[in-house]
């Protein structure tokens, strides 16, 4: 088995991995290596040929492949090395990473710091227990996207799309442009689960029938999908009798949620958040294991690539710092690490589903603001206050025009604010994040 | 004119038919094994609970009881010879109400009568110790040390490949449309691929055995398909569930189990509902609810978020309550196997030997072949190898270093090997059953496009021709940028 070492090892070359690797080099790490299981770099970006990427990061509206290309070039110019067609099999104590590739055989890599950037996967049919037969023609939206955009094949001609996630909506448009018919998009919730801009640009502009509070109640066809039955559901997601409709189709696409891909994190012993399914991290993207960092969709699912990149830049920077401390002491990085600083938990409060990071250093370790990212449970289509509180004290209080589960909310807590409160927070259990209606304000 | 003349034609290449073919391949016989599906084991074999039962369920004196216990005892050897995953991990029947003790004692006594070794009763504390996730309300359990779990696809494929290595001919996508007869004698089979003459015809057609029996002039036996629905949970769930857990049985079924599988997942099911169609393997909302409720009664901490797959299978439930395995007196040249429901999988190696004896008694001359080779090797399983073995495999063939299925760590080398095995995998589902590709938590979402490419290359087909399970089950309908037909 070939043995390798490096300063920072990044698992995954999607937007998170590329940005983390680039930033690790910029922050002084000498040897930065990215492992990618596919033959091409960019993770899922190469198949996302629609636009909307990089508006904040590059101030230009790019396609997925273009966004990936920019980051690959930046990373390569910065001196990042890549191993493609290489799959990580295990993360052992150390951390030590065991990977396999046809070219190199089995490889054992011992980095000074590790960044987890494995992204996420799509929720499959089985997870929803959709009744019916199990014919060919049921695909997750992302699989269909790869088949159409990268392989050049149509996986159906008449589609029903279950779920209204962003990939599902984008595929509704893509399939229509390729000459297929999208018979319906059905969503069990009373609102769409993807971004509003995709609803407008991909569903409404293409006259695709959208059925809310509706789900697929039967899949028919022995060999290939022949039809699906849809029905309305009540508030408890129970079928409303009499609302069943049969839609003839030859394919069913699923766009019903993404799950952070954390089997390696679990193997490494990283503490996971049961709500997000991703590692619990602090404001520096550090996981529960010293020297292991995590960023992007592996932590929690983002809706904008620009936010993935921002989180990964933090992870890359702090992973490099950690690696450099290890290099300075000439041994395992942990030996060079300063004594652990106290942290406080950050918890979801009213109408907040989950918060990342799950804990923050108090006071902040340096002068940077700490970014808190979260999603609401229920949509509120009127002005709201998004707050970070410590007991009765409000640390951040921001007015938003609305709050929707599909749109992640980001708040920054200034280092000075944390500094100011640090001494007074001793008796407080942690910080709460909440999103509440503004009282006493005229309704729009 | 018939295509070919055989000594024995076996209809149905499920686990029973395949093991019969293998058992007969020890002798100098020309044997044809045929199946209407595109792969072996496409019927009840591929959709069951995959348990090797100890043998305490069946009525003493029945064929089921005898063949269950005898088949169970053969598993170590047959799985070792065929390179099939099998774990004699023991099974538990869990009592949750004080009155269940009576059932446990009854089963225990029945097991002893059936000649089942290694049965014992344990109390609640011991049960909780062995399975910490078990319901609080447990009062104790019947332990069957000889019970186990097996890879049922692997066993069927292994048996069929072993039979082929020993000269048996396999004809897939060959559907029997009628039996050829001269007077009282069956002389062969008519199929969609022509007629085949055979001195003996063995009906091992699972759910369709009764239809074929009627064609042979044997009336009275009726098979009612009894559906069982299942959930498969992510491997993570196996951290919670360590054992094979049965509830106390009901008159029609062994009840809804919670079991670890040989592949490292957790499986819940089956329920038992009679259905009209022999092809109705759809899952239903009510059925799945029933399964989940039943499973939660045994292990209340099961996490439904870990479900990755649902499926259903049909039991070939007959109207006699027992297996029917006989060379009927009124018809010559025929051997019938019908009503092979649970514990059919467990009994299958013993059923095969029993059929050999029935045929011998009925006059089939059996001369041993000196070159019979009982050992068959499965394709390599990269994920099960040590790091050193993995490195050696990649050094020999770099395609074993290219992981295609990330959830189950299945490599390109394994998929290629499956495409070129003695029974070549020609469908995605066939690849899945041989390699576990696509059976993990993403259910093939990442691997499907890659597997289709590899299969097309290896089988010399267009990606447009690759199917999920044969017939019209194509994944891809046309190239992009073509005008829709």
Residue B34 has a pLDDT of 98
CA distance B410 to B450: 12
Q: What is the least distance, in Å, from the CA of A194 to any CA of chain B? A: 20
Residue A335 has a pLDDT of 46
Q: Which residues of B touch A263 (CB under 8 A)?
A: 407, 441
DSSP class of residue B406 equals T
* SS3 letters across chain A: CEEEEEEEEEECCCHHHHHHHHHHHHCCCCCEEEECCCCCCCCCHHHCCCEEECCCCCCCCEEHHHHHHHHHHHHHHHCCEEECCEEEEEEECCCEEEEEECCCEEEEEEEEEEEECCCEEECCHHHHCCCECCCECEEEHHHHHHHHHHHCEECCCEEEEECCCHHHHHHHHHHHHCCCEEEEEECCCCCCCCCHHHHHHHHHHHCCCEECCEEEEEEECCCECCEEEEEEECCCCCECCCCCEEEECCEEEECCCEEECCHHHHHHCCCECCCCCCECCCCCCECCCCCEEECHHHCCCCCCHHHHHHHHHHHHHHHHHHHHHHHHHCCCHHHHCCCCCCEEEEEECCCEEEEECCEEECCCCCCCCEEEEEEECCCECCCEEEEEEECCEEEEEEEECCECCCCCEEEEECHHHHHHHHHHHCCCCCEEEEEEECCCCCCC
Residue A338 has a pLDDT of 55
User: Using CB atoms, which residue from B311, B388, B476 is nearest to A147?
Assistant: B476
- A148-193 pLDDT tens trace: 999 999 999 999 999 999 999 999 999 999 999 999 999 999 999 9
Look at residue B399 and tell me whether its pLDDT is greater than 70. yes
Point out the catalytic residue in the list B53, B108, B263, B420.
B53
Look at residue B223 and tell me whether its pLDDT is greater than 90. yes
Report the chain B residue with the minimal C-alpha distance to residue A177. Answer: B481
CA distance B351 to B63: 9
Residues A111, A33 contacting (CB under 8 angstroms): yes
Residue A444 has a pLDDT of 43
Residues A261, A12 contacting (CB under 8 angstroms): no
Q: Do B284 and A131 touch (CB under 8 A)?
A: yes
- A367-393 pLDDT tens trace: 788 999 999 999 999 999 999 998 888
Q: What is the mean pLDDT of chain B?
A: 96
Q: Do B463 and A153 touch (CB under 8 A)?
A: yes
Q: Would you call B457 helix, strand, or coil by DSSP?
A: helix
Q: Do B443 and A85 touch (CB under 8 A)?
A: no
Q: Would you call B312 helix, strand, or coil by DSSP?
A: strand
> A331-336 — which CB contacts under 8 Å span 24+ positions?
A333/A112, A333/A113, A333/A290, A333/A291, A334/A290, A334/A291
What is the band of A430 on the pLDDT scale with cuts at 50, 70, 90? confident
Q: Do B401 and A103 touch (CB under 8 A)?
A: yes
User: Using CB atoms, which residue from B305, B394, B448 is nearest to A143?
Assistant: B448
Residue A392 has a pLDDT of 86
Look at residue A287 and tell me whether its pLDDT is greater than 70. yes
- B322-344 pLDDT tens trace: 999 999 999 999 999 999 999 99
Q: What is the mean pLDDT of chain A?
A: 93
Q: Do A124 and B395 touch (CB under 8 A)?
A: no
Q: Which of B266, B227, B8 is nearest to B131 (CA)?
A: B266
Class of domain A1-122+257-339: alpha beta
Alpha carbon distances (Å) from B389 to A266, B53, B119, B400:
25, 33, 39, 11
- A196-242 pLDDT tens trace: 999 999 999 999 999 999 999 999 999 999 999 999 999 999 999 99
Q: Which CATH architecture has domain B91-145+225-312?
A: 2-Layer Sandwich (3.30)
CA A229 vs. chain centroid, Å, equals 31
Q: What is the least distance, in Å, from the CA of B291 to any CA of chain A? A: 12
User: Using CB atoms, which residue from B309, B411, B475 is nearest to A126?
Assistant: B309
Q: Which of A138, A151, A266 to mutate to test the interface with B (most CBs of B within 10 A)?
A: A151
Residues A144, A173 contacting (CB under 8 angstroms): no
Q: What is the least distance, in Å, from the CA of B154 to any CA of chain A? A: 21
Q: Where are the CATH 3.30.9.10 domain residues in chain B?
A: 91-145+225-312
Q: Where are the CATH 3.50.50.60 domain residues in chain B?
A: 1-85+149-223+318-378
Q: Which residues of A touch B283 (CB under 8 A)?
A: 129, 131-132
What is the average per-residue pLDDT within A5-33? 98
Structure tokens at A30: 């000498």
Q: Residue A245: exposed, middle, or buried by beta-carbon count in 10 A (0-12, 13-18, 19+)?
A: middle
> B435-439 — which CB contacts under 8 Å span 24+ positions?
B435/B379, B435/B381, B435/B405, B435/B408, B435/B410, B436/B263, B436/B381, B436/B405, B436/B408, B436/B410, B437/B404, B437/B405, B437/B408, B437/B410, B438/B405, B438/B408, B439/B232, B439/B263, B439/B309, B439/B407, B439/B408
Residues A273, A297 contacting (CB under 8 angstroms): no
User: Using CB atoms, which residue from A124, A143, A266 is nearest to B449?
Assistant: A143
Q: Do A153 and B479 touch (CB under 8 A)?
A: yes
CATH of span A124-256: 3.50.50.60
Q: What are phi and psi of B415, to 5 degrees?
A: -65, -40
DSSP class of residue B27 equals B
Domain A124-256 shares a fold with domain A341-444 = no
Instruction: Render the burial of B128-150: b for 16+ CB within 10 Å, e for the rest.
Output: bebbebbbeebbbbbbbebbbbb
Q: Which residues of B touch A88 (CB under 8 A)?
A: none
Q: Do A124 and B305 touch (CB under 8 A)?
A: no
Residue A330 has a pLDDT of 57
Alpha carbon distances (Å) from B118 to A193, B94, B143:
55, 16, 8
Helix axes B63-82, B344-361, angle to 10 degrees: 100
What residues form DSSP beta bridges with A370?
A: A413
What is the band of A362 on the pLDDT scale with cuts at 50, 70, 90? confident
What is the average per-residue pLDDT within A424-442? 77
Q: Would you call B362 helix, strand, or coil by DSSP?
A: coil
- A34-73 pLDDT tens trace: 999 999 999 999 999 999 999 999 999 999 999 999 999 9
Residue A420 has a pLDDT of 78
Instruction: Render the burial of B328-360: b for 16+ CB within 10 Å, e for the rest.
Output: eeebbbbbbbbbbbbbbbbbbbbbbbbbbebbe
What is the band of B254 on the pLDDT scale with cuts at 50, 70, 90? confident
Domain definitions of chain A by residue range: 1-122+257-339, 124-256, 341-444
CATH fold for domain B382-465: Arc Repressor Mutant, subunit A (1.10.10)
Report the chain B residue with the minimal C-alpha distance to residue A43. Answer: B446
Give percent above pLDDT 70 in chain A.
94
User: Using CB atoms, which residue from B231, B391, B398 is nearest to A103?
Assistant: B398
Helices (H) and strands (E) counted in chain B, each on its own, are: 12, 23
Neighbouring CB atoms inside 10 A of B457's CB total 12
State yes or no: ipTM above 0.85.
yes
Q: Which of A222, A226, A252, A273 to mutate to test the interface with B (most CBs of B within 10 A)?
A: A222
Q: Do A154 and B281 touch (CB under 8 A)?
A: no
Q: Do B387 and A1 touch (CB under 8 A)?
A: yes
CA distance A123 to A375: 19
CATH fold for domain B1-85+149-223+318-378: FAD/NAD(P)-binding domain (3.50.50)
User: Using CB atoms, which residue from B305, B449, B483 is nearest to A151?
Assistant: B449
Q: Which of A47, A108, A126 to mutate to test the interface with B (most CBs of B within 10 A)?
A: A126
Residues A145, A171 contacting (CB under 8 angstroms): yes
Q: Which residues of A touch B467 (CB under 8 A)?
A: 136, 223
Whose structure tokens read 């289509």? A381
CATH 2.30.30 fits A341-444, yes or no: no
Alpha carbon distances (Å) from B231 to B198, B269, B303, B432:
42, 7, 12, 17
Q: Which of A277, A281, A267 is nearest to A300 (CA)?
A: A277
Q: Is B53 part of the annotated catalytic residue set?
A: yes
Q: Which residues of A touch B402 (CB under 8 A)?
A: 85, 87, 101-102
Look at residue B431 and tell me whether its pLDDT is greater than 80. yes
CA distance A346 to B54: 53
What is the average per-residue pLDDT within B175-181? 97
Whose structure tokens read 């095995």? B421
Structure tokens at A437: 């209606």
Q: Where are the CATH 1.10.10 domain residues in chain B?
A: 382-465
- B119-146 pLDDT tens trace: 999 999 999 999 999 999 999 999 999 9
Residue A333 has a pLDDT of 46
Q: Do A153 and B305 touch (CB under 8 A)?
A: no
Residue B1 has a pLDDT of 46
Q: What is the least distance, in Å, from the CA of A131 to any CA of chain B? A: 5
Residues B402, B388 contacting (CB under 8 angstroms): no
- A396-410 pLDDT tens trace: 999 999 999 999 999
Look at residue A316 and tell me whether its pLDDT is greater than 50. yes
Q: Do A136 and B475 touch (CB under 8 A)?
A: yes
């Amino acid at each position: 088995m070939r043995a390798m070492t490096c300063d920072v090892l990044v698992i995954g070359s999607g937007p998170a991995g590329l940005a983390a690797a680039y930033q690790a080099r910029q922050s002084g790490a000498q040897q930065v290596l990215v492992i990618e299981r596919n033959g091409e770099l960019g993770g899922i970006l190469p198949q996302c040929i629609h636009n909307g990427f990089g508006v904040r990061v590059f101030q230009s509206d790019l396609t997925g492949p273009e966004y990936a290309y920019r980051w690959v070039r930046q990373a390569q110019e910065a001196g990042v090395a890549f191993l493609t067609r290489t799959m990580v099999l295990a993360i052992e104590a150390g951390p030590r990473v065991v990977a396999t590739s046809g070219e190199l055989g089995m490889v054992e890599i011992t980095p000074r710091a590790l960044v987890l950037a494995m992204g996420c996967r799509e929720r499959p049919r089985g997870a929803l227990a959709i009744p019916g037969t199990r014919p060919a023609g049921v695909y997750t939206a992302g699989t269909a996207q790869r088949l159409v955009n990268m392989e050049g094949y149509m996986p159906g001609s008449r589609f029903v799309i279950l779920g209204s996630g962003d990939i599902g909506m984008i595929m509704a448009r893509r399939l229509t442009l390729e000459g297929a018919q999208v018979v319906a998009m059905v969503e069990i919730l009373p609102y769409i689960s993807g971004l509003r801009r995709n609803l407008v640009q991909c569903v409404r502009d293409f006259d695709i029938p959208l059925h809310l509070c509706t789900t697929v109640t039967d899949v028919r066809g022995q060999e290939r999908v022949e039809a699906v039955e849809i029905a309305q559901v009540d508030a408890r997601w129970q079928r409303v009798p009499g609302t069943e409709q049969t839609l003839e189709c030859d394919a069913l696409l699923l766009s019903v949620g993404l799950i952070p891909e954390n089997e390696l994190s679990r193997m490494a012993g990283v503490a996971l958040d049961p709500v997000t399914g991703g590692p619990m991290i602090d404001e520096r993207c550090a996981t529960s294991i010293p020297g292991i960092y995590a960023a992007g969709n592996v932590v929690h699912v983002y809706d904008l690539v620009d936010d993935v990149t921002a989180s990964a830049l933090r992870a890359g920077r702090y992973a490099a710092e950690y690696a450099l401390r290890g290099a300075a002491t000439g041994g395992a990085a942990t030996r060079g690490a300063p004594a652990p600083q106290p942290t406080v938990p950050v918890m979801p409060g009213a109408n907040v589903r989950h918060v990342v990071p799950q804990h923050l250093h108090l006071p902040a370790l340096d002068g940077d603001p700490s970014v808190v990212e979260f999603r609401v449970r229920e949509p509120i289509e009127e002005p709201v206050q998004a707050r970070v509180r410590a007991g009765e004290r409000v640390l951040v209080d921001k007015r938003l025009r609305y709050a929707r589960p599909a749109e992640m909310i980001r708040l920054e807590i200034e280092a000075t604010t944390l500094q100011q409160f640090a001494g007074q927070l001793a008796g407080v259990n942690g910080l709460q994040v909440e999103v509440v209606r503004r009282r006493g304000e005229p309704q729009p | 004119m018939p295509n070919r003349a055989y000594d024995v034609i076996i209809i149905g290449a499920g686990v029973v038919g395949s093991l019969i073919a293998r058992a007969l391949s020890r002798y100098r016989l020309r044997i044809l094994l045929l199946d209407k599906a595109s792969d072996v084991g496409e019927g009840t074999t591929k959709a069951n609970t995959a348990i090797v039962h100890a043998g305490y369920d069946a009525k003493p004196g029945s064929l089921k009881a005898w063949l269950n216990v005898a088949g169970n005892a053969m598993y170590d050897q047959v799985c070792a010879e065929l390179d099939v995953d099998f774990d004699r991990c023991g099974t538990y029947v869990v009592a949750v109400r004080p009155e269940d003790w009576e059932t446990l004692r009854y089963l225990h006594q029945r097991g002893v009568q059936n000649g089942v070794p290694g049965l014992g009763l344990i109390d609640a504390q011991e049960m909780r110790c062995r399975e910490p996730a078990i319901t609080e309300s447990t009062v104790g359990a019947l332990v069957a040390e000889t019970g186990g779990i097996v890879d049922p696809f692997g066993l069927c494929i292994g048996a069929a490949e072993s039979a082929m290595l020993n000269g048996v001919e396999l004809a897939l996508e060959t559907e029997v449309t009628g039996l050829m007869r001269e007077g009282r004698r069956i002389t062969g089979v008519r199929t969609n691929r022509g007629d085949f003459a055979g001195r003996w015809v063995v009906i091992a057609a699972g759910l369709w055995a009764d239809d074929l029996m009627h064609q042979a002039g044997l009336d009275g036996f009726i098979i009612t398909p009894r559906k069982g629905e299942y959930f498969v949970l992510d491997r993570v769930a196996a951290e919670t569930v360590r054992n094979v857990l049965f509830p106390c049985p009901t008159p029609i079924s062994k009840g809804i189990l919670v079991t670890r599988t040989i592949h490292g997942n957790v499986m819940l099911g089956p329920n038992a509902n009679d259905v009209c169609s022999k092809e109705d393997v759809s899952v239903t909302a009510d059925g799945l609810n029933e399964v989940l409720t039943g499973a939660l009664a045994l292990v209340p901490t099961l996490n439904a978020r870990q479900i990755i797959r649902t499926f259903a299978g049909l039991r070939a439930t007959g109207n006699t309550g027992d297996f029917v395995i006989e060379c009927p007196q009124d018809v010559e040249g025929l051997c019938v196997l019908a009503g092979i429901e649970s514990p059919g999988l467990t009994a299958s190696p013993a059923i095969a030997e029993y059929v050999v004896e029935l045929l011998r008694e009925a006059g089939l001359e059996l001369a041993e072949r000196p070159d019979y080779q009982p050992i068959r090797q499965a394709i390599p399983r990269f994920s099960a190898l040590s790091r050193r073995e993995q490195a050696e495999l990649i050094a020999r063939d770099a395609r074993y270093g290219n992981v295609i299925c990330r959830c189950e760590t299945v490599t390109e080398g394994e998929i290629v090997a499956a495409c070129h095995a003695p029974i070549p995998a020609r469908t995605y589902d066939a690849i899945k059953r041989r390699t576990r590709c696509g059976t993990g938590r993403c259910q093939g979402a990442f691997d499907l496009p890659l597997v289709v490419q590899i299969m097309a290359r290896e089988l010399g087909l267009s990606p447009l021709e690759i199917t999920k399970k044969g017939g019209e089950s194509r994944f891809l309908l046309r190239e992009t940028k073509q005008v829709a037909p």
